[in-house]
Each structure stands twice: as structure tokens, then as C-alpha cells.
């Protein structure tokens, strides 16, 4: 009798000797002996597959690699990464379109925590993004109360006392309140206070 063609067995039988044995089993016809029963054929097939696996270093057929547990696990991980990336991009685009994807407004000053600030020095306030000038100027509060004029250079606000000079030996606190808005309409998350001390008055000339 002849054995049926076995595609899986062909796929893993890479050794020439094993292929030859398989071909003999297919082509061999032993008329004197009774036909091989199913159990014997299954056992023989199992032995051939085990030997082929042992000689091939346990290399699985390509279809088994792709659809085996390891292949499916890698495929699942790849799909998961793609879905997460897509969700992040979608969220960013959605938030950006509704105006909720914004930068925090940072307020700094080179004068903060300084002492002996020159009396002629204007108070400089730096922002990390363009601001709405009107709302920002309105939100400025100075202690002690001082009448000032405002001017802008890019994202830097300059606050200059209208008298020309700051008071000597005085601690100033300049607060930018939450009413200040960015050019896109975002408010400050919290007030920002800049504190500094001016230089002492010049000594009186000797008589």
C-alpha cells in the first residue's frame, strides 16, 4: 500500500535521509505482509517528526512559527503598541482642536530675590509665550503702591515707575495675578510674585 501525502511532515523533514525514508514509506508496497494499521502509522509518523525536530534544532515550520503561542504573543504585542500610539495621537489632536492642549504659563524675572537693585532699573517680567498685553498689564500689582508705565519687548514686560526711579532701600513685591491671559486666551494657573530689594540711597556729600 502507499501512504497518503503528509504536507506537515514534508515541511519539517529537512534531512535527506529522513526524506528518503518517508518516500520509501509512501512508495513501498509489501504484498506479502498485512497492511499497516492506523496506530502503527501514527507512531511511525510521530517518530519521524520527533527525529526531524531534533536534527533541525527544534525549528518549527514557518506556518507554525507564525501561528504558535510565541508568534501570536508578538503579534498581539505589536497590535497593542499600534493601538496605544493611535490613541495618544488621537487624544493630542482632539485636545489641540478644542484648545485644551496648552503650555503652562511660566513667569520669571532676573530681579527676583535680588538685593541692591539699581534705582533706575525697570522691573522686567519674562513670559514663556506671547501674552495679551492689556489683561497682563491690568493684572500687575506692586507693593508698595507705585504708579508705573508699561512697555513690551517680545515676551518681556518692562514696568517703569513714572517718577523715573524706584525708592531706595525698599523691598518691592510685583505680583502677576491670574487675570493675565496668554495671546490664545489662557489664564495663569496661579499668581506669580517677584520680590527684590533696591540699593540704599547714595551717601550725602561731606560738608
Decide if pLDDT at 195 tops 90.
yes
- Cα atoms in the Cβ-side hemisphere of radius 13 Å centred on 164: 0
**Domain contains 204:** no
**Domain contains 1:** no
Alpha helices in the chain (DSSP H): 7-12, 16-27, 38-55, 62-67, 69-98, 133-138
Same structural domain for residues 115 and 190? yes
pLDDT of residue 202: 80
Q: What is the mean pLDDT of the chain?
A: 76
**Domain contains 206:** no
Q: Based on the structure, what is the number of domains in the chain?
A: 3
Q: pLDDT-derived band of residue 205, with 50, 70 and 90 as boundaries?
A: confident
Looking at per-residue pLDDT, the higher value among 19 and 58 belongs to 19
- In this predicted model, what pLDDT tens digit does every residue of 80-123 receive, in sequence order? 656 675 665 555 554 444 444 567 899 999 999 999 999 999 99
Same structural domain for residues 88 and 115? no
- Residue 15 domain boundaries: 7-60
Mean pLDDT, to the nearest integer, of 43-54?
A: 66
Cell of 196: 527684590
Instruction: Find where cell 527684590 sits.
Output: 196
Decide if pLDDT at 194 tops 60.
yes
**Domain contains 205:** no
Decide if pLDDT at 12 tops 80.
no
- In this predicted model, what pLDDT tens digit does every residue of 153-188 receive, in sequence order? 999 999 999 988 999 999 999 999 999 999 999 999
Same structural domain for residues 14 and 76? no
Q: pLDDT-derived band of residue 60, with 50, 70 and 90 as boundaries?
A: low
Residues with Cβ within 8 Å of 170's Cβ and at least 6 positions away in sequence, in order, are 144, 197, 198
Same structural domain for residues 85 and 29? no
Looking at per-residue pLDDT, the higher value among 94 and 130 belongs to 130
**Domain contains 2:** no
Mean pLDDT, to the nearest integer, of 67-81?
A: 60
Q: pLDDT-derived band of residue 1, with 50, 70 and 90 as boundaries?
A: very low
Least confident of 44-48, 58-62, 168-172, 203-207: 58-62
What DSSP line would sit under 18-58, residue for residue?
HHHHHHHHHH---SSSPPPPHHHHHHHHHHHHHHHHHHTTT
Same structural domain for residues 80 and 120? no
Sheet holding 114-117, edge to edge: 114-117, 192-198, 171-176, 140-143
pLDDT of residue 204: 75
Of the chain, the percentage scoring pLDDT greater than 70 comes to 51
Amino acid at each position: 500500500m502507499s501512504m497518503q501525502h503528509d504536507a506537515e511532515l514534508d515541511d519539517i523533514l529537512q534531512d535527506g535521509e529522513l526524506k528518503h525514508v518517508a518516500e520509501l514509506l509512501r512508495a513501498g508496497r509489501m504484498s506479502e505482509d498485512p497492511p499497516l494499521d492506523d496506530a502503527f502509522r501514527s507512531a511511525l509518523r510521530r517518530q519521524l517528526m520527533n527525529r526531524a525536530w531534533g536534527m533541525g534544532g527544534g525549528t518549527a515550520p514557518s506556518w507554525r512559527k507564525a501561528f504558535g503561542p510565541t508568534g501570536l504573543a508578538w503579534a498581539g504585542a505589536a497590535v497593542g503598541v499600534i493601538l496605544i500610539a493611535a490613541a495618544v495621537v488621537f487624544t493630542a489632536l482632539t485636545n489641540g482642536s478644542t484648545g485644551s492642549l496648552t503650555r503652562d504659563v511660566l513667569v520669571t524675572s532676573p530681579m527676583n530675590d535680588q538685593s541692591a537693585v539699581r534705582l533706575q532699573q525697570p522691573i522686567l517680567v519674562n513670559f514663556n509665550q506671547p501674552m495679551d498685553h492689556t489683561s497682563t498689564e491690568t493684572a500687575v500689582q506692586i507693593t508698595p503702591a507705585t504708579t508705573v508705565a508699561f512697555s513690551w519687548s517680545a515676551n518681556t514686560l518692562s514696568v517703569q515707575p513714572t517718577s523715573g526711579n524706584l525708592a531706595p532701600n525698599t523691598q518691592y513685591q510685583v505680583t502677576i495675578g491670574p487675570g493675565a491671559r496668554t495671546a490664545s486666551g489662557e489664564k495663569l494657573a496661579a499668581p506669580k510674585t517677584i520680590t527684590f530689594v533696591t540699593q540704599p540711597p547714595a551717601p550725602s556729600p561731606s560738608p
